[in-house]
Amino acid sequence: MGQQQVLEETISQLIHPGKGILAADESAPTIAKRFTAVGVESTEDKRREYRSLMFSTPGLGDYISGVILYEETLDQLSLDGEPMAALLQRQGIVPGIKVDKGKGPLANAPGDEITFGLDGLEERLLGFREQGARFAKWRDVYHITDTNPSRLAMEANAEILARYAAVCQSLGIVPIVETEVLIDGHHTIERCAQVSEAVLREVFRALDRHGVGLEGMLLKPSMVTPGKSHTSQASPEQVAQATLSVFRRAVPAAVPGIVFLSGGQTPEQATANLHALNQHAPQPWQLSFSYGRALQEPAQHAWAGNLENGPAAQDALHLRAKLNSAARNGAYKPEMES
């Protein structure tokens, strides 16, 4: 198989109808925050127990096509002593890997951040591919204020994101290009739309500059919503309309799939919004999910650090995966929550 065919094969698995991606790639500091919220101290062993439980959820592969892993997890064995990537493959799930190294302040751009991790990327990717990873993720983050994100931040982040995507494709690894316009703040949905469109236009300019094949990548954006502290929240239909009008302007039709992040929406909101988006099908791209918190939060509460709660935690993950699968087909109903 040629490299292009390898990429397209992985993508068709990832955007399989009725399935989406589980983002379980929280870095050590982020997963510590999630564990603290349910009263668990984050140790290497606890992270292994929790993720092993999640990935061995019976029937998970019916709704989940891919899982994004953190480096540490790719090196770990499941509770049954099997490499985590092998466990996922046995479930019919494609293993992927987060490859960015987090973010920090961008010099000369007050309030903006830049994502790190290009140094040594090719070598690291080769190692991850050896361990079974077939796709990768890199996250760029944009803060909204009256003056952020600056043009400098949009250009610098887009450039780096495109370089990451080009390296992935050269190795037959599908790049997930993640642009998270943060939900924090009191901005309006219109301001979010304006920033999201500017960010996406800049990213696709950079992808073009670097020769990234649009058919061989997936986009992982945030939905267009008002800020979390805005006086009123938007309905799923308002979110769907605002999101689609931005994406139809800024995302080329050659991109096979848009896999949204949940970005601080509640699990129910993230499902209802995805459903509303899919009510407007067909669109040029598959509209799917790559949720972290919105898939895992109820499972983390059910688990609470106790192995005996494993089956309850798996049930909670299974339910959210199933409901998002329904939303992906525009077939979710709030009654299905109970």
- Looking at 178, 197, 202, 297, which residue is catalytic? 178
For residue 301, the minimal CB distance to ligand 13P (Å) is: 15
Active site residue 178: yes
139 binds ligand 13P (CB under 6 A): yes
For residue 98, the minimal CB distance to ligand 13P (Å) is: 7
Active site residue 220: yes
Considering beta carbons, is residue 30 or 188 the nearer one to ligand 13P? Answer: 30
For residue 202, the minimal CB distance to ligand 13P (Å) is: 19
Q: Residue 193 has which token pair?
A: 């739309």
Q: Residue 77 has which token pair?
A: 């064995």
Tally Cβ neighbours within 10 Å of residue 19.
22
For residue 240, the minimal CB distance to ligand 13P (Å) is: 18
Considering beta carbons, is residue 48 or 293 the nearer one to ligand 13P? Answer: 293
Q: How many residues bind ligand 13P (CB under 6 A)?
A: 10
Question: Which span sits near ligand 13P by CB under 6 A: 49-57, 151-159, 288-296, 306-314?
Answer: 288-296
Give a three-class secondary structure readout of 15-49: CCCCCEEEEECCCHHHHHHHHHHCCCCCCHHHHHH
Angle at 201 between CA 184 and CA 103, to 5 degrees: 45
161 binds ligand 13P (CB under 6 A): no
11 and 218 Cβ atoms separated by less than 8 Å:
yes
For the chain, helix (H) and strand (E) counts, in that order, are 12, 10
- Chain position carrying tokens 């094949």: 213
Q: Which of 66, 9, 3, 1 is nearest to 211 (CA)?
A: 3
Distance from CA of residue 36 to its chain's centroid?
22
Give residues 11-70 in contact with ligand 13P (rule: CB under 6 A). 23
205-215 burial, b if ≥16 CB within 10 A, otherwise e? ebbeebebbbe
Give residues 247-266 in contact with ligand 13P (rule: CB under 6 A). 261-263
Q: Are strands 94-98 and 135-142 parallel, antiparallel or unpaired?
A: parallel
Considering beta carbons, is residue 23 or 84 the nearer one to ligand 13P? Answer: 23
Q: Which of 191, 101, 96 is nearest to 142 (CA)?
A: 191
Considering beta carbons, is residue 82 or 102 the nearer one to ligand 13P? Answer: 102
Q: Residue 267 has which token pair?
A: 């699990």
For residue 250, the minimal CB distance to ligand 13P (Å) is: 20
Run of H or E residues at 97: strand 94-98
Binding mask 293-312 for ligand 13P (x = CB under 6 A): xx------------------
- CA gap 86, 324 in Å, rounded: 25
Considering beta carbons, is residue 26 or 112 the nearer one to ligand 13P? Answer: 26
For residue 251, the minimal CB distance to ligand 13P (Å) is: 18
- Looking at 19, 98, 137, 220, which residue is catalytic? 220
291 binds ligand 13P (CB under 6 A): yes
For residue 183, the minimal CB distance to ligand 13P (Å) is: 9
Residue from 226, 256, 257, 292 in contact with ligand 13P (CB under 6 A)? 292
Nearest residue to ligand 13P, by Cβ distance, number only: 292
Considering beta carbons, is residue 139 or 275 the nearer one to ligand 13P? Answer: 139
292 and 320 Cβ atoms separated by less than 8 Å:
no
Considering beta carbons, is residue 184 or 208 the nearer one to ligand 13P? Answer: 184
Question: 103: helix, coil or strand?
Answer: strand
**Under the phi-then-psi rule, with left for phi > 0, alpha for psi from -120 to 50, and beta for the rest, what region is 127?**
alpha
Site of interaction with ligand 13P (CB under 6 A): 23, 139, 178, 261-263, 291-294
Residues with catalytic annotation?
178, 220
